[in-house]
A and B are shown apart, each in its own frame.
Chain A
Amino acid sequence: MIPWLTLAIALPAIGAILIWALPRVRTAAETESASARAGASAEAGGGGTAVKTRPAAKTGAGTASAENAKRIALIVSLATLALVVAMALNFDTATAGDLQFEEVYPWIPYFGVHFAVGVDGIALTMVLMSVVLVPLVILAAWNEHSDKEDGGRGYFALILALEAMMVGVFVATDVFLFYVFFEVMLIPVYFMIGRYGRGAERAKAAMKFLLYSLAGGLILLVAVIGVYVIGGTFLWSELTASGSALAAVDPATARWLFLGFFIAFAIKAPMWPVHTWLPTAAGSSSPGTAVLLVGVLDKVGTYGMLRFCLELFPSAVSWFVWPVVGLSVVSIIYGAIVAIGQTDMMRLVAYTSISHFGFITLGIFVLTPQAQAGAALYMVNHGFATGALFLIVGFLIARRGSSRIEDFGGVQKVAPKLAGVFLVTGLAGLGLPGLAPFVSEFLVFVGAYAFNPVPAIIAVVGVVLAALYILWMYQRTMTGPTPEKLSKLPDLSARETWVVAPLLALIIALGVYPQPLLNVINPAVERTVEIGADTASDTTNAEGDTEEGDEE
């Protein structure tokens, strides 16, 4: 049997090491073009940035090796994609609710830690989404960091390292291993924002991101240790087996452990009120980093809620349903309203994501099959739609050197293709029927309405607001008179077309025919919903406690 999952983790990791180990080449010939680019970007950066243009001689260093680095990164990420697709074709849809491709090797026997991996339907779709996004991000960032001292090769190494960890975190079936990936992932992202980000505030943004995530991670650590001390094992399959020691834990302890996991995931997701790091981090990220940060990393939070919060502590779930639903609804409305007021496109998209994550957590915690399937599907669709939006904003930034809305206008006249894809992805974001996110949003609404009409109706307001922030942004940037500065704005290049075309194809395809994904997701969701059904009887008892949560 082929160790698919280990290979999928190892391949990008080896690629990252390979790029790192590339010999550093210093060529004088390229200095001129490189310094010209650096000068242009520094000017475009709008002054006051900490990024000083370095002397030309330094700037060119490593550019030659950077070219190799890019190629290696692209090839490795495509190979990983091919590998995962091949694995997905071998996936048995009939038993998508069970773990497949399982591998279990002892890692630290002293603590009973295993290198244990496996995927069910949800994990498989998450992995697929991640490995689809990575090559596109690499392609989109092709020339983005040429002005950096190392020509951006560090950035590409970090992307591959991050890819390995992203695959790892979704396929880990050992809680300790999951925690390791969950924490280690922060390090590459930290450097991707701090070193390869945009603007003067990026070091601060990276710091804020890291500290928020570390705080959540440390709370998670206590809960993970608690699970081990009570359950006696880290293996997810043993912990969730009926009759395990963890299942017999008293409800109060289970609630605390649930809370420990939930806080970490809520910070990651991010949920109101622990969302403040995301707009800062996304606003200071390069577009490619933002895609991976919002499209994939944040999904670890919602995925973790589904996989760990619900399945490890079924007895505690009913107690948290209403508080989390309340927070989700707040996130939906709050994210949308604040998004309307943004003047920076990157931050705007980040706030829309907070709103969208509200939909996802709402779908997870109303515990109905449609809503959870919708939430799981939304995780994928949001990755593609928001990823595409970030990348297109990135194209605009690359042209104008600014992400402020007021710096744009009338783009559709000079770059109609660019404006067109911008509109389509924007419409996907606001849930237009026929495009992928609509299906998932609809499922969440149906499921949430079955649970209770009130949160569902409030959540619909979020969709109305979404139309407002997306269309208004489009109106301000793409329509109207074209300013003098933008009159020479080039349209999509071939490379850029290749970046967005696959995403648009996926958005449209999944909008018209989401069934293949749902076939994979549904059996997995049924398992978690059963947990909800088992504890549904408790809900009535807990109703009294949860009134307050509703008011939030």
Chain B
Amino acid sequence: MNALYVADGAPPSLPGITDAPPTLDWWLLAPILVVFGAGVLAVLFEAFMPKKVLRPVQITVAAVALLVTFVLIVLQVEAVGDGVIVAGGVLAMDRVVLFLQGTIAVLALISLMLIAERRDGRDAFSAQAATVPGSEEERRHILAGSQHTEVYPLVLFAVLGMLLFPAANDFLTMFIALEVMSLPLYLLCGLARRRRLFSQEAAVKYFLLGAFSSAFFLFGIALVYGYAGSVNFTAIRQAVDAGGAEIFADGNGEPLLIMGIGLVAIGLLFKVGAVPFHNWKPDVYQGAPTPITALMASCTLVAAFGALLRVFFVPFGGSVAIWEPMLWTVAILTMVAAAVIAVTQRDIKRLLAYSSVVHAGFILTAVIASSTEGLAGAMFYLAAYGFTTLGAFAIVTLVRTRDGGQELGDLEGWAGLGRRAPGLALALSLFLLAFAGIPLTSGFIGKFAVFEAAIAAGATPLVVVGVISSAVTAYFYVRIIVVMFFRESEGEGPTVARAGALTGGVITVGVAATLALGIFPGPVLDNLLPDSEAGQEPAAVMVHQVTEE
């Protein structure tokens, strides 16, 4: 980092760069280190433990690690106060970050319940991913009961990336977090037990598109570095306020910044799945093993939006004029296009994927509001949506075809589910109504929060587009309810696997959270989210000062 010299040849004074070893606040780093340590430990177990005991051990390690992480995050709320910069300025810890990390930890723990669920001694993952689908070798592995316990360390590493992503205080850390989060997910996507070619195709697609988006992201970082002379968020913000690094004293550096913001935004919008960077979502959601889809739909979305909020509010908080028109376009495209395409979907997982894209559009309206209210609204929305979507995917894992017992994606086949499994159908109806934003569900409060922030910030046209899109999406949510309750099944209809304790638990938690956050959202809104003082800039509640001078 010594490439930038000003005219008089003196080395630039870069914030946070010193010869002294960084002081590490181990207490504040503990949640991340616990997950990391557990991941490493799990890899060692994988290598040295006998296969027989591996599965229960791995599940225990993962569950305990996530639980401890969550507890540590809760305990730190007091310690961070208004927010501190830790680990030599690479991580920012404030209450916003802790809320997102806590949400990720809880949602990951619930996803883990789905991942660990087994039916007839088989989980959702292929016996041996390295075998050719349909081959004799694959059959031998299935009969021998082989399994991939590597799933658990992979999940832990993905969660590690997710915890780091929204906490990153400079672009390099953020990029590393992005890769740590994504690489295990690419792999996990290809491990489905059923329809393996489909799953592998999804993994390849996700990997290639993800690699492209990472490249965009990285190139954007380079351009921003060129403009600001630093990758540190605070330094970038100061540079933006000052009109660029010192070499841009003549004020001609702005194109660099515009391109930089645009490319960084592409990387982040890809991860949240906003149109036109959403194409991976339906394919990947459909192809991946459903528990992994649930993990991605809840935790990854929270992490990606957490990072997006930080990037747009902290380093680029001073250049709202540059990114606002761009996000307006993306948000409108996302809400309209995804809603329209979703209407034509016939597969439940693809439909939920498009629904997730539409929801990303709604959350973007809160980003555009660029206020503390918007930040709080987006945070609430993410948590509420995470629980609901986990419940919905848990139900997807239970509805199966009559022959062979693989998951029944085709919605037409869901006819008569309301009669066959009324409890399950009711739970799914609740989740769908929450997605549609019907009052007394968490989805309504979330939607109200983001739309309120957007209108308060003067983005009323955007909200009008949002509600029109909501009306369209309501059509396909309600259509599922029609199929389940009002249509007789042709022939035998679907079978419903008995919900084990784990899957049942996930659905119960989903229902409870959807109702609790919908009827009594007060405690969460009042205690966990930043106070909404009208017109306050969101950076006011996101730590961004450099503490070590």
Contact = CB atoms under 8 A, between A and B. Distances in A.
A252 to B, nearest CB: 12
A473 to B, nearest CB: 30
A218 B482 contact: no
A50 to B, nearest CB: 7
Contact of B487 (A203, A226, A228): A203
Interface string B443-456: 01101110110011
Main secondary structure of the interface of B (DSSP, over half): helix
Contacts, number: 89
B248 interface: no
Contacts of B487: 50, 203
Contact of B482 (A149, A203, A214, A228): A203
Given A107-B522, A109-B522, A225-B463, A179 B452 contact: no
Interface in B421-475: 433, 436, 438-440, 444-445, 447-449, 451-452, 455-456, 460, 463-464, 467-468, 470-471, 474-475
B455 A206 contact: no
Contacts of A194: 482, 485-486
A109 B526 contact: yes
Interface in A83-107: 107
A228 to B, nearest CB: 7
A205 to B, nearest CB: 10
B438 A222 contact: no
Contacts of A215: 471
A226 B463 CA distance: 11
Given A109-B522, A194-B485, A180 B440 contact: yes
Given A180-B439, A184-B440, A210-B478, A229 B485 contact: no
Nearest to A214: B474
B521 interface: yes
Contacts of A180: 439-440, 444
B488 A52 contact: yes
Interface in A220-242: 221-222, 225-226, 228-229
B173 interface: no
A195 to B, nearest CB: 6
A517 B183 CA distance: 72
Interface string A185-200: 0110011001100000
Interface in A487-532: none
A218 B470 contact: yes
A260 to B, nearest CB: 10
B440 A229 contact: no
A214 B436 contact: yes
B532 interface: yes
A242 B482 CA distance: 47
B479 interface: yes
Contacts of A149: 419
Interface in A148-170: 149
Most chain B CB inside 10 Å of its own CB: which residue of A50, A110, A184, A221: A110
A183 B478 contact: no
A75 interface: no
Contacts of B445: 108
B460 A222 contact: yes
B340 interface: no
Nearest to B482: A203
B422 to A, nearest CB: 9
A66 to B, nearest CB: 15
Given A110-B525, A194-B482, A211 B474 contact: yes
Contacts of B452: 111, 225, 228-229
Contacts of A226: 455, 460
A432 interface: no
B479 A207 contact: yes
Nearest to B456: A229
Contact of B455 (A52, A110, A218, A229): A229
Q: How large is the interface on A (under 10, 10 to 19, 20 to 34, 35 or more residues)?
A: 20 to 34
A202 interface: yes
A460 interface: no
Interface in B467-515: 467-468, 470-471, 474-475, 478-479, 482, 485-488
Contacts of A210: 474, 478
Given A180-B440, A222-B455, A225-B452, A50 B488 contact: yes
A219 interface: yes
A211 B470 CA distance: 11
A283 to B, nearest CB: 16
A108 B467 contact: no
Contacts of A195: 485-486
Nearest to A107: B522
Nearest to B452: A225
A219 B478 contact: no
A222 B464 contact: yes
Given A108-B521, A183-B438, A221 B478 contact: no
A218 B471 contact: yes
Most chain A CB inside 10 Å of its own CB: which residue of B419, B447, B478: B478
Interface string B526-540: 100100100000000
B486 A202 contact: yes
Contacts of A190: 478
A111 B467 CA distance: 20
Contacts of B419: 149
A211 B482 CA distance: 13
Contacts of B526: 109-110
A190 B475 CA distance: 13
Contacts of A50: 487-488
A229 to B, nearest CB: 5
Contact of B486 (A186, A203, A211): A203
B332 to A, nearest CB: 15
Contacts of B471: 211, 214-215, 218
B438 A225 contact: no
A183 B434 CA distance: 12
B522 A222 contact: no
Interface string B108-134: 000000000000000000000000000
Contacts of B439: 179-180, 183-184
B412 to A, nearest CB: 14
Contacts of B475: 207, 211
Nearest to A194: B486
A206 B522 contact: no
Contacts of B436: 214
Contacts of A109: 522, 525-526
Interface in B343-387: none
Contacts of A110: 521-522, 525-526, 529, 532
Contacts of B486: 194-195, 202-203, 206
B448 A111 contact: yes
Nearest to A110: B525
A202 B486 CA distance: 9
Contacts of B468: 218
Nearest to A215: B471
Contacts of A225: 448, 451-452, 455, 463
A218 B467 contact: yes
Interface string B133-149: 00000000000000000
Nearest to B525: A110
Nearest to B449: A111
B451 A221 contact: yes
Nearest to A253: B460
B333 to A, nearest CB: 20
30 contacts: A108-B521, A108-B522, A110-B526, A110-B529, A111-B452, A183-B444, A184-B438, A184-B439, A187-B433, A187-B438, A190-B478, A194-B482, A206-B482, A207-B475, A210-B478, A211-B474, A214-B436, A215-B471, A218-B467, A218-B468, A219-B467, A221-B448, A222-B451, A222-B460, A222-B467, A225-B448, A225-B451, A226-B460, A228-B452, A229-B455
Given A183-B438, A206-B486, A218-B468, 6 more contacts: A50-B488, A108-B522, A184-B439, A186-B438, A207-B479, A211-B478
- 8 closest cross-chain pairs (CB), A and B: A110-B525, A218-B467, A203-B486, A180-B439, A215-B471, A183-B439, A229-B456, A194-B486
